[in-house]
A = this chain, B = another copy of it.
């Protein structure tokens, strides 16, 4: 299987790839999952995991597959960000790339390098080295998109576990926006988000366990299509 190695013969055709930006949070920092390229071009440079899309493959499906192949991460729901297509962004020909992203808690997953990737590592956004291709640019605009979507769409629930505590919910936003929120005010803010409260409680905690909630997608979609509610954080 080729990776970024293709013939560019047809006048109107190009290659297209997906780049998968995985944002993770741990130790109070936002990090991105990078791979060390094991082949030319940009051999040994760090890069965003990405590869070409199969001809019969849906874009989102491609993003999930590529992420799995390069990092071993499975079943991560990816969100489309932007498409990058400067004619010379790839040294070997025209490759237009569609960036996808997801957000997760690093300690919940274990990544392993594939044969394509010499190494896989979480790198802090504050400490980003020079990356292959235009990946520094892709990374920073995708981070902006992540924040924009977290504020305007309920993508946080793709990231949180099926049942979550309100504190986990709050921490997600604190990590993504790198600021603390007042607990009481946070709960007032989310008052109108349709959540289902469960009777069970958080397990394995040393002190008072928190109540568990899940996102009420049905009610949410009813309310938005009827224009009674718009998600806003």
Interface residues of A (CB under 8 A from B): 2, 6-16, 52-59, 80, 82-83, 85-87, 94, 96, 98, 148, 151-152
A96 and B16 contacting across the interface, CB-CB below 8 Å: yes
CB-CB under 8 A from A56, the residues of chain B are 87, 94
CB closest chain-B residue, reference A96: B16
Cα distance, A82 to B59, chains bound together (Å): 12
Whether A6 lies near B15 (C-beta < 8 A) is: no
* Complex-state Cα separation, A15 to B54, whole angstroms: 13
Chain B residues within 8 Å of A10, by CB: 6-7, 9-10, 13
Given contacts A83-B80, A152-B148, contact A12 B96 (CB under 8 A): no
Chain B residues, Cβ within 8 Å of A52: 12
| Count of identical protomers in the assembly | 2
Q: How far is the CA of A87 from the CA of B59 in the complex (A)?
A: 8
Q: A83 contacts B86, CB within 8 Å?
A: no
Tell me the smallest distance from the CB of A201 to a CB of chain B, in Å: 37
CA distance A100 to B24 in the complex (A): 30
Which of these, B13, B58, B80, B87, contacts A13 with CB under 8 Å?
A: B13
Residue from B12, B57, B86 in contact with A15 in the complex, judged by beta carbons closer than 8 Å: B12
Separation of A57 and B12 alpha carbons in the complex (Å): 11
Q: How far is the CA of A206 from the CA of B148 in the complex (A)?
A: 43
Nearest-Cβ distance from residue A206 to partner chain B, whole angstroms: 37
Bound together, the chains give a CA A6 to CA B13 distance in angstroms of 8
Q: Could you tell me the distance between the alpha carbons of A86 and B62 in the complex, rounded to whole angstroms?
A: 11
Complex alpha-carbon distance, A80 and B87, angstroms: 16
User: Could you pull out 28 A-B pairs where Cβ atoms are within 8 angstroms?
Assistant: A2-B12, A6-B10, A7-B10, A8-B13, A8-B55, A9-B10, A10-B10, A11-B55, A12-B15, A12-B52, A12-B54, A13-B13, A13-B14, A14-B55, A16-B85, A16-B96, A57-B87, A58-B86, A58-B87, A59-B83, A59-B85, A59-B96, A80-B83, A83-B83, A96-B98, A148-B152, A151-B152, A152-B152
Q: Which residues of B contact A16 (CB under 8 A)?
A: 13-14, 16, 85, 96
Cα-based distance from A2 to B10 in the complex (angstroms): 12
State the CA gap A160–B17 with chains docked (Å).
Answer: 35
Q: Looking across the interface, which residue of chain B has its beta carbon closest to that of A151? A: B152
